[in-house]
Amino acid sequence: MRKNNLDILITNDLEHFDYFYHNMYFPYIKNTFSNQAIIIEYASMKELFKKSDLIFLEKDNQYISGVLLLKFKDNLRLKSMGCLDGDYQYVKHGAISTLYFHAIMHAQKSGFKKVNWGYSRPFLKDGVLRYKNKWRIKLINKVKSGYLIYGSIKSEGVRNFFKNNPFIYKEKDDLYGAYFIDNGQTVSDEEYKKILKQLYIKGLKELIIYRFDENKIKKILPK
């Protein structure tokens, strides 16, 4: 904020919402996710805006990023965010990360006990999830949807997918992390600690190491 001479505006004005939706949210989501973008329709987000706060980040009298904060009884949820014209240069200069900080500050000043960062993909190396974890989040399980993966474990492509994409899965009411290694591979205690440091997220009951020629070979219990 100090380095880039940034200011903030917290508003509930409909004209500001229109500006946010058309000039920040829509182009940012479209540019970031391309043909995989899931864009909330204007009318639906406008309805959500009735019980939300909108934070703008301002530089040189121009709004460069914004986040819509949906208000619930005991938490404030980061519903949608974006930057001006979807220009990723603003992201590189902290226009999004600064919004996370001010969302926390706004929640605290408004009397909310929790901030909900929203949904994330259940892959432990996913960039967005790793970024959120820098804020010391805790995983909560409120989503019934997920991924169903089918393939032969004898396939090198399938094995490589699992090795490169450790993931979160649900068993009964608990969340677990799954990390995969090759047939016959062993992992030292130091390597276990490194994996735990890299991938463990608060809210996982266990982070489990799987080897393709066995079942689970090691449980890493969070301290």
Same domain? 128 vs 111: no
106 is a domain residue: yes
Cα–Cα separations (whole angstroms), residue 110 to 72, 85, 106? 12, 30, 6
When comparing pLDDT for 94 and 130, which is higher?
130
1 is a domain residue: no
Same domain? 110 vs 193: no
Least confident of 32-41, 106-115, 207-216: 207-216
Q: Percent of the chain beyond pLDDT 70? A: 95
Burial 179-202 (b: 16+ CB within 10 A, else e): bbbeeeeebeeeeeeebbeebbbe
Distance CA 112, CA 95 (A): 23
**DSSP-assigned beta bridge partners for residue 206:** 176
When comparing pLDDT for 143 and 170, which is higher?
170
Distance CA 43, CA 185 (A): 54
Q: Strand 167-171 relative to strand 174-181: parallel, antiparallel, unpaired? A: antiparallel
Segment 121-145 mean pLDDT: 87
Domain that holds residue 134: 120-223
What pLDDT score does 149 carry?
80
Same domain? 103 vs 148: no
Distance CA 155, CA 108 (A): 50
Number of domains comprising the chain: 2
Q: Would the pLDDT of 119 be above 90?
A: no
User: If 0-12 CB within 10 Å is exposed, 13-18 middle and 19+ buried, where does residue 87 land?
Assistant: middle
What pLDDT score does 198 carry?
92
Same domain? 111 vs 125: no
What pLDDT score does 221 carry?
46
Give the number of other CB atoms < 10 A from CB of residue 115: 20
